[in-house]
Structure 1
């Protein structure tokens, strides 16, 4: 089963901001080393939009100078990262990218199509704008999974206890499918359902039973946990249950609502990924 993990995640993408330290990259390098994976580092710098109008004409020279300086800083940072990964002796590539914020998610998505998993380290995760652009690129422009790692946690592709946030939806099903190599090696797998409704459609006559049987065929040791919300949000119930079971990985689907609605109202995805309490595997 360990070899199955290595075969499933052969290229891991790490997106870092040009002003970030080496901490996220070092975490990605260690994960790649442990799993004999290739590391693809994207060093991302966001360009200021070009000036427009009469005022823009007056500052265009300044804007051009700033752009040239920013690209020089990006090139230097990429060179430093290449030296870092070369010193560690792992298979890696480093690609500097300079683009406007409006197109950054598409740029990330284009690169992510050639990776199996993206690692969102604690330093990138602590940002707001850049993290959101990266996740939008992964989930909407590439439909690739992300492993979001909070501060103080160590990412692993061989978790001992996995909690699956399950609502019988398409996004949750996609996340489980992408995470099967990780679920299969776990000692304990908890299918967590909050206020599930039994029925012929949706959650089924016995909520969670179909998924449990499916995962059992992949060798998973599964427990179904049907939990009441009791006045708490779904995200709060799932996070607390993961802590109570000492889980080291949460698997969940991303953006069950439309992209616009998710941005306006937030939702379970936002709540569990904005400040995750444990490594969180997210797919859409």
Structure 2
């Protein structure tokens, strides 16, 4: 199994260089095509103005959005056209998250830039926290200073739940391309460490069946899952972390677990998330 269509979601309010580099890198590795997507809608104040003033604001904001989308298309094509087997652009004047979710049907995997939760503008770019819970496709979240998809060392952040099983299966092409793979589980209680060792051994054996050799690791101390995974990733020099996206619905809003939230918004490494 390979990725044949990569979709990259672009932001209007910050640089896109990092996620374009990673999307191009994946396209080269798997001889895939790339679809670029971007969207933006009018800001809420537009809906409260009236008369000629409202019309003037509407026209100016619409023209600005169309200009930004056109500039993004040029940036996208210049960055990836020589790295992909084919290139396609999709854009609309609408909210980014619903638009990207609709377009995701055409892709094997989505690539988006990381966004700090405190600075998300829902009109300017898709929020990875929303996409990972709803897209039905794996998501690669790219920190802003990333130069390439570094697969020399890849960490699987294992938890014995459906989401992790889904993520590892979806990431098989990435894992097969990696030089070194480590499966790690952090036991949340000391008496669970034996179970954790059994879990990661099973995952490593399953990966061997797919021609992938993986190391296994269970820290000596339990608890502090996010911090321990970050230390493990640093120790093994991981360029990417594979993880299931864990969350639950509360008051009709998606609430992410601490580990998923960290990987989607704060990690310095590319995060491969699936649900």
1:252 offset after TM fit, Å?
0.5
* 1:162 matches 2:157: no
- Give the corresponding residue for 1:207: 199
- Give the corresponding residue for 1:65: 59
Distance 1:209 1:217 in 2: 13
Q: Partner of 1:147: helix, strand, or coil?
A: strand
- Give the corresponding residue for 1:135: 128
- Give the corresponding residue for 1:10: 4
Counting only pairs closer than 5 Å after superposition, residues 116-135 of structure 1 correspond to structure 2 as 116-121=108-113, 128-129=120-121, 133-135=126-128
Distance 1:109 1:97 in 2: 13
Which stretch of structure 1 is more off in the superposition, 124-133 or 168-177? 124-133
- 1:31-51 per-residue CA deviation (whole Å, 9 max, x = no partner) reads 423432111111222322375
Count of aligned residue pairs for this structure pair: 267
Counting only pairs closer than 5 Å after superposition, residues 101-112 of structure 1 correspond to structure 2 as 104-112=96-104
- 1:121-141 per-residue CA deviation (whole Å, 9 max, x = no partner) reads 46x679633598432453233
Q: Taking structure 1 as reference, are residues 166 and 241 closer, same or farther at Cα in structure 2, changes over 3 Å only?
A: same
Q: Taking structure 1 as reference, are residues 132 and 98 closer, same or farther at Cα in structure 2, changes over 3 Å only?
A: closer
* 1:148 matches 2:141: yes
Distance 1:205 1:152 in 2: 34
Q: Normalising by structure 1, report the TM-score.
A: 0.78
* 1:171 matches 2:163: yes
CA RMSD of aligned residues (A): 3.3
Counting only pairs closer than 5 Å after superposition, residues 22-101 of structure 1 correspond to structure 2 as 23=17, 24-49=19-44, 51=46, 56-58=49-51, 59-81=53-75, 84=78, 88=82, 90=84, 91-100=86-95
Between 1 and 2, higher relative CO (CA 8 Å, sep ≥ 6) is seen in: 2
Distance 1:154 1:45 in 2: 26
1:14 offset after TM fit, Å?
1.1
Structure 1: any 5+ residue segments left out of the alignment? none
Counting only pairs closer than 5 Å after superposition, residues 221-260 of structure 1 correspond to structure 2 as 221-229=213-221, 233-258=224-249
Q: Normalising by structure 2, report the TM-score.
A: 0.81
Q: Partner of 1:108: helix, strand, or coil?
A: helix
Q: Taking structure 1 as reference, are residues 21 and 222 closer, same or farther at Cα in structure 2, changes over 3 Å only?
A: closer
Q: Partner of 1:194: helix, strand, or coil?
A: coil
